[in-house]
Amino acid sequence: MRRWLLGLLLVVALAALAFFTLAPGMIERGLNKIDGKPLAEVSERAKKLHETLTIVDLHSDSLLWSRDFLKRADRGHMDLPRLQDGHVALQVLASTTQSPKGQNYDANGADSDNITGLVIAQLQPVRTWNSLLERSLWHAAKLHRDAEKSHGTLRAVASPEDITALLAARRGKPLATGAMLSIEGLHILEGDIANLDRLYAAGFRMAGLTHFFDNDLAGSMHGLKKGGLTPLGRQVVTRMETKGMIVDVAHCSRACVADILKLARRPVVSSHGGVQATCKVNRNLDDEQIRGVAATGGLIGIGYWDAAVCDTSPASIVKAMKHVRDLVGIQHVALGSDYDGATTVRFDTSQLVQITQALIDAGFTDDEIRAVMGGNAIRVLGAGLVPLTPPLEPAAGN
């Protein structure tokens, strides 16, 4: 009996070891895909121009996954070596903490979560198993740990001075790559606005109010009620702008976007998504919303996956960018890949020259390409990270 019991325990231990070793990678391979469809041949002009660009991407979910960000992986869309291959100067890394079961673009409740199982399978600290706030703080700790281990090739960015230092460092060899922390859904505040200070102290400098479900700050475009800002949501938007945190309207309901645009006193961004004019999906911005974001001086980050641009081709990505340019001006167009966000794309971040080529093919000038690929984002992020002194108050009646 004793020998049988020991044998059973050994089988269980081996099964557990196999699960914790293999399951996270298997899950990611099934969710973060490259579709393998043909890509255009890249011209010498595109290659040379691309090497001179300051490239910024406003949204990736790479922190969600359990792999060494400093090493080249054979899965997913992004890591430091591939960012270097793609000549990326600054990557915004989002902290994603909750995903409803049966997630869809139309209607989701907040009473379930797919990510808890992933958190446990990846053997994250126990404190992250039951706390969404702790999951985000863990993501911040991962980034700062990797930055320390990278010997200066990966730099955490949290201030205009950090951006200036990063750009200076990129004039040398090897090129440094910056990373700025963002949050995908402020449900992680757990109803306490004081937790925004904890997130700021951890290095977070951008946040969307919602993700795939309504919360106590605002309604989601994919929620059940899809309402506007709550009183707490209004307080959080004002506090964010005062502290020097950039407000992201991605995933917000129409009412939420409208309320933020009325309240905002600083540029807001839509970090990742598309536009209704080229891809009629409910999460994509219509022309009125695009004009509203532009009126704040903000940015529209165009994504690379099918639900953002109704295809995965570089030409479809650029088609959405062209619409924003023609509607409100080139100064409001940016990259917002949604890499590693359970998306299927045509190319990973090492092949970003594909977008440069598609922009050339669509007739964008070199100056316009510089703006789209990162110049606009450097301008808006640098300005948005400056705390307001004295703090601005919301306009009467808002």
User: Is 31 inside a domain boundary?
Assistant: no
Give the list of residues 6+ apart from residue 113 with CB closer than 8 angstroms, or none.
98, 99, 100, 101
User: Is 397 inside a domain boundary?
Assistant: no
CATH number at residue 233: 3.20.20.140
User: Is 171 inside a domain boundary?
Assistant: yes
How much is the pLDDT for 3? Answer: 63
Q: Please give the tally of structural domains in the chain.
A: 1
Q: Which long-range contacts (CB under 8 A, 24 or more apart) does 75-78 make?
A: 75/25, 75/28, 75/29, 75/32, 76/28, 76/32, 76/339, 76/340, 76/348, 77/32, 77/34, 77/337, 77/339, 77/340, 77/343, 77/345, 77/348, 77/349, 78/339, 78/340, 78/348, 78/349
**Residue burial 90-110, b: 16+ Cβ < 10 Å; e: rest:** bbbbbbbbbbbeeeeeebbeb
User: Is 35 inside a domain boundary?
Assistant: no
User: Is 284 inside a domain boundary?
Assistant: yes
Q: What angle do CA 358, 359, 365 make, to 5 degrees?
A: 150
User: Is 330 inside a domain boundary?
Assistant: yes
User: Is 18 inside a domain boundary?
Assistant: no
Q: What are phi and psi of 218, to 5 degrees?
A: -170, 170
- Write out the chain's pLDDT in tens, 398 residues: 666 555 544 444 444 444 555 567 789 999 999 999 999 999 999 999 999 999 999 999 999 999 999 999 999 999 999 999 999 999 999 999 999 999 999 999 999 999 999 999 999 999 999 999 999 999 999 999 999 999 999 999 999 999 999 999 998 777 899 999 999 999 999 999 999 999 999 999 999 999 999 999 999 999 999 999 999 999 999 999 999 999 999 999 999 999 999 999 999 999 999 999 999 999 999 999 999 999 999 999 999 999 999 999 999 999 999 999 999 999 999 999 999 999 999 999 999 999 999 999 999 999 999 999 999 999 999 999 999 876 555 544 44
Q: What size, in residues, is the chain?
A: 398
The residue segments making up the domain with residue 342 are 43-384
How much is the pLDDT for 26? Answer: 84
How much is the pLDDT for 172? Answer: 78
Would you give the distance in Å from CA 83 to the centre of its chain? 15
User: Is 306 inside a domain boundary?
Assistant: yes
Give the predicted TM-score (pTM) of the model: 0.93
Give the list of residues 6+ apart from residue 305 with CB closer than 8 angstroms, or none.
312, 338, 341, 343, 344, 345
Terminal-residue alpha carbon distance, the chain: 73
